Structure 1
Amino acid sequence: MPSPPRPSPAAKKPSSTTKPVLLGLVVLLAAGLLGFVSYRATAPDPASDTPASATTAGADSDVYRELAELARRDAGDKLAQGRTDAPVVLIEFADFQCGYCGKFARDTEPELIKRYVADGTLRIEWRNFPLFGEASEAAARASWAAGRQDRFWPFHRAAYAEDAKEKGFGKDRLRALAQQAGVKDLDRFARDTDSAAATEAVREDREQAYGIGATSTPSFLINGRPLAGAQPLAVFTQAIEAAAAEEANVKNAGEPAE
């Protein structure tokens, strides 16, 4: 989907702990420049007959490892589900007004939870990445507030229900969604939604997204490997299983021989 206008440089200053130019390149490649990726993987080095893949694979691996370190693996993270020691972490950067994010939430994510979160393979970590104005900002803060009462994921389902975004995300609507999600203290929910802590939490998530070069939603990292858009289920299952297999190989390689 078309990328919305980005905020001013002050609003999107990347974190000092990231390398936005290099990481942004990887995300852009994942967003659709598959022809370039194929070319780079097979084109000869101008100075030799060695395929470029032989000289770039190591650099790419370093970037993927750095991106993988963005996983928080925090047991107290209210906007995450799955074991903190799961071998695979999927980080999703999304906006509640994004139609493709809703499609992923309704059609793909429940199956990933059923297949991989339930058996301990996958952990899903949500990052609020509001791009479409104040309504997106308000919904992001409200989702965080619902999380303070352990109702983020029910709120997430309610906000991404079919045709939910057409009803808007005004104060009354957000309160109704919270009630639908089972938030018990609605007055606290309203205070938390409007709090400085909610604003800061959303800012940190968005800063992380811009820091890795993400410009549209949904954007994903699967053990550091970027994946853009609401791709078919098979794309996610393949990526998750490949990441799990890679982690298993690394673990086995590190175990002493008997």
Structure 2
Amino acid sequence: MASSARDRRNRRNRQKNLAIVTGVAVAAGLLGFASYTATKPEEPSAAVRKGDSAASSGASAAPREGAHSELEALARRDAGDPLAQGEADAPVVMIEYADFKCGFCGKFARDTEPDLVKKYVADGTLRIEWRNFPIFGEDSERAARGAWAAGRQGRFWQFHEAAYADGAKEKGFGDGRLKELAREAGVKDVDRFAEDADSEGARAAVKKDQEEGYKLGATSTPSFLINGQPIAGAQPDAVFERAIETAAAAQAGGGAK
């Protein structure tokens, strides 16, 4: 009898593990397809300015239609998250996987995100959740940890703005440079910032975000999820606006597709 009970438990565990693996594989396929869509050869009418991020090379202007529950469930909606802005119960959540060394992430941060904040975060429609996704080496890792450390003192978004300013990434993200950015961002205790940036807590937080991105199949930056809809690359403003408004209408019961 004991052996039979163990066999049943083992079967249940195998089934559970298979379900988890299958869910991750489905999610990875969805974002992988979005990455392909963003990097496939462009149509002449959908030309986008080229840059140094593979995610945005020849990006199509049209977002993928539809939301996927496997991806929508990744929104953390933690009201105390310093790496997020907007109401925790906002109808639309945009998760952004990005790297401070990524030129097209900087383009999005400077040219598109501020308008989305003014238009949708300010009125309670949108919440933006940042995920550190460093893919360009140790400099990227240091910048990600620095951003997390700035968040510990409530200055993440100010650090984000300073790190994505024109010409910022060309100066690198060495320890001294990170302190300069922290001061520019208004971080009050720079010594504490430096300690936090070099802490195991910072490394664990960055690794958690990074592994989440890799499990989803994200291979380039920036990558986004808008209520479970994958969008890859620094797309034109209209792509994000359309995705946000479609998601908001669906949440309101409008059924927009």
What's the CA shift string for 1:128-174, capped at 9, x where partnerless? 00000000000000000000000000000000000100001000000
TM-score by length of 1: 0.78
For the 8 Å contact 2:97–2:223, the answer to whether it is kept is yes
What's the CA shift string for 1:193-231, capped at 9, x where partnerless? 000000000000001101111111000000011000000
> Partner of 1:90 in structure 2?
94
> Partner of 2:108 in structure 1?
104
Give structure 1 stretches of 5+ with no counterpart.
1-15, 37-59, 252-258
For the 8 Å contact 2:35–2:218, the answer to whether it is kept is no
Give distance in 1, aligned partners of 2:136 and 2:65. Answer: 33
> Partner of 2:61 in structure 1?
none
Moved over 4 A (4+): 60-63
> Partner of 2:148 in structure 1?
144
1:17 Cα deviation from its structure 2 partner: 7.9
Where in structure 2 are the equivalents of 1:93-172 lying within 5 Å? Answer: 93-172=97-176
Q: Pick the aligned partner of 2:215 from 204, 207, 211.
A: 211
Alignment size in residue pairs: 212
Distance 1:65 1:198, change over 3 A: same
Give distance in 2, aligned partners of 1:99 and 1:187. Answer: 29
RMSD: 2.0
Give structure 2 stretches of 5+ with no counterpart.
1-19, 41-63
Give distance in 2, aligned partners of 1:25 and 1:32. Answer: 10
1:250 Cα deviation from its structure 2 partner: 7.3
Three-state SS of the structure 1 residue aligned to 2:31 is: helix
> Partner of 1:195 in structure 2?
199
Distance 1:226 1:144, change over 3 A: same
Where in structure 2 are the equivalents of 1:17-36 lying within 5 Å? Answer: 19-33=23-37
Give distance in 2, aligned partners of 1:63 and 1:238. Answer: 13
For the 8 Å contact 1:19–1:211, the answer to whether it is kept is no
Taking every aligned residue pair, what percent have the same amino acid on both sides?
A: 64
For the 8 Å contact 1:159–1:165, the answer to whether it is kept is yes
> Partner of 1:51 in structure 2?
none
